[in-house]
Amino acid sequence: MSVTGPETVSSEAVLRELERLLASPALKGSKRSQEFLHYIVEATLRGQADTLKERTLGVALFRRTPDYDTSDDAIVRVKANEVRRRLVQAYQEVGPPADVEIFLPTGSYVPDFRPVTAPVMPQASPLRTGMAAKVHWIWISTAVILITAALAIGLAWRRGHAPSRLFWEPFLAADGTVLISVPNPTVHVLTPAIRDANTPTVNRADIHPNSSDYIGVGDLMAASRLAAHFAVYGKPYQIRPGNDTSFAELRNSPAVFVGAFTNQWTMQMSEGFRYVFRKENGINYIDDTGGNHQRYTMTRAASLTDYAIITRLFESRTGRPVIIAAGLGHYGTQAAGELLTTGAALDTLLRALPADWPRRNMQLVVQVEVLGKSPGPPHLVASHLW
């Protein structure tokens, strides 16, 4: 039997490659991911690719009822993103395929079987893992950010005892791969038929929430700088969507949580702290719970003012080191990422803290003035150490 595509590949070659991938550490560690990949590959080989829809997969693999609400229950989308990530990891572990590569395109549940006519290198870009095609337009600017950040960090951090180095030292010394957790903002999209028809007015039923395929620009810029930071120091890292990360995984890794309201882990890990993110009557703000409940809220006057919280914990609820870089808006998050990875700026801020700060957990509230569409230098407005 053969499978047709851009070129014809045999079912036997696909099944051999599937068996090789399922035995890899990346997929062997998740029975659900193995079942998901096995199911969609075999369905495609049987000529049933048209049945691989979100609802049918939810019923077949996750015991959902036939009428379950896919907009509220994203289990299939989350698992598909995880399988895409694990496929990338699997090819890094077992090496390139001999005959055919199994690939799961973003936005689809039908796998592609790509004939191998020359040695194929695995796609190892950590920013690609778990992300969607919708953000491809920003890859060029992201690459520039990564290179610039890497050079800046590499120069600044040669000063071994600078305050910025002391800030990061416990985190860099921690065992395990760093998880950089990015938010999952919900974006409302039109159904393809309505979108392609350029209909001037649409029904509410034609607008659907999507919380798995997008990432904010400020969140992406902060995550890319953090990735460059860890790369410079040879610290292994992964960039993962917040809704694709389990608590069990966080117990095994130090973590950096990027963004606030759309990152579930930021909100959960921040509970009980002095400075917390709140929402009231549609307004986002930072609440100082330690005294007079002062609020820090985004304002617009001559320019936009945003605020961000930087939190460093030696031992969080996961038992591992945690850093949170999150703004009220994406400008604040971007500025927090830049501050954490720019040695001179972080040095200046840390020198304003009590002398024993290197041994203490901390929360820092910074203010950012946005000029045009770029955040300016952040200024420390409040801090809490314990």
Q: What residues contact residue 35 under an 8 Å CB cut-off, 6+ apart?
A: 61
Q: Using CA atoms, how far apart are residues 222 and 182, in angstroms rounded to an integer?
A: 9
Q: Taken in order 93, 97, 102, 106, is the CA torsion positive or negative?
A: positive
Indicate whether 358 belongs to any domain. Answer: yes
255-282: pLDDT as tens digits: 999 999 988 889 988 889 999 999 998 8
pLDDT band at residue 139 using 50, 70 and 90 as cut-offs: very low
User: Both 339 and 373 in a single domain?
Assistant: yes
Assess whether pLDDT exceeds 50 at residue 123.
no
- What's the confidence (pLDDT) of residue 212? 57
Residue 154: φ, ψ to 5°: -60, -35
How many separate domains does the chain show?
2
- What's the confidence (pLDDT) of residue 124? 37
Indicate whether 149 belongs to any domain. Answer: yes
User: Both 197 and 106 in a single domain?
Assistant: no
Instruction: Among 116-125, 154-163, 303-312, name the one with the lowest average pLDDT.
Output: 116-125
Q: Which domain holds residue 20?
A: 2-115
Instruction: Among 138-147, 229-238, 373-382, name the one with the lowest average pLDDT.
Output: 138-147
pLDDT band at residue 210 using 50, 70 and 90 as cut-offs: low
Residue 115: strand, helix, or coil: strand
Q: Using CA atoms, how far apart are residues 348 and 24, in angstroms rounded to an integer?
A: 46
User: Both 100 and 172 in a single domain?
Assistant: no
Q: Using CA atoms, how far apart are residues 45 and 2, in angstroms rounded to an integer?
A: 8
- Average pLDDT taken over every residue of the chain: 82
User: Both 93 and 173 in a single domain?
Assistant: no
User: Both 99 and 222 in a single domain?
Assistant: no
Q: Using CA atoms, how far apart are residues 98 and 13, in angstroms rounded to an integer?
A: 9
Residue 100: beta bridge partners? 115
Residue 328: strand, helix, or coil: coil
User: Both 229 and 306 in a single domain?
Assistant: yes
Instruction: Among 3-7, 224-228, 251-255, 314-318, name the one with the lowest average pLDDT.
Output: 3-7
**What's the average model confidence in pLDDT over 311-315?**
91
Assess whether pLDDT exceeds 80 at residue 36.
yes
Q: Using CA atoms, how far apart are residues 308 and 259, in angstroms rounded to an integer?
A: 9
Indicate whether 68 belongs to any domain. Answer: yes
Indicate whether 226 belongs to any domain. Answer: yes
338-384: pLDDT as tens digits: 999 988 899 999 999 999 999 999 999 999 998 877 888 899 999 99
User: Both 267 and 170 in a single domain?
Assistant: yes
> Tokens 């040879």 — which residue?
234
Assess whether pLDDT exceeds 50 at residue 5.
no
Assess whether pLDDT exceeds 90 at residue 34.
yes
User: Both 108 and 209 in a single domain?
Assistant: no
Indicate whether 127 belongs to any domain. Answer: no
Q: Which of 225, 377, 201, 354 is nearest to 305 (CA)?
A: 377
Q: Find the DSSP H helices in 95-234.
A: 139-156, 163-173, 192-197, 217-232
- What's the confidence (pLDDT) of residue 47? 92
| Integer angstrom CA distances of residue 162 from 30, 165, 348 | 42, 5, 10
User: Both 147 and 214 in a single domain?
Assistant: yes
Which residue among 59, 81, 115 closes a domain? 115
**What's the average model confidence in pLDDT over 294-320?**
89
Q: Using CA atoms, how far apart are residues 179 and 223, in angstroms rounded to an integer?
A: 11
pLDDT band at residue 154 using 50, 70 and 90 as cut-offs: low
Burial of 125 (0-12, 13-18, 19+ CB in 10 A): middle
User: Both 106 and 11 in a single domain?
Assistant: yes
Q: Using CA atoms, how far apart are residues 333 and 339, in angstroms rounded to an integer?
A: 10
Assess whether pLDDT exceeds 50 at residue 120.
no
**What's the average model confidence in pLDDT over 54-77?**
89
- What's the confidence (pLDDT) of residue 186? 65
Which residue among 58, 84, 115 closes a domain? 115
User: Both 234 and 356 in a single domain?
Assistant: yes
Indicate whether 123 belongs to any domain. Answer: no
Q: 297 with 182: CB under 8 angstroms?
A: no
Residue 51: φ, ψ to 5°: -90, -5
Indicate whether 124 belongs to any domain. Answer: no
Indicate whether 320 belongs to any domain. Answer: yes
User: Both 195 and 293 in a single domain?
Assistant: yes
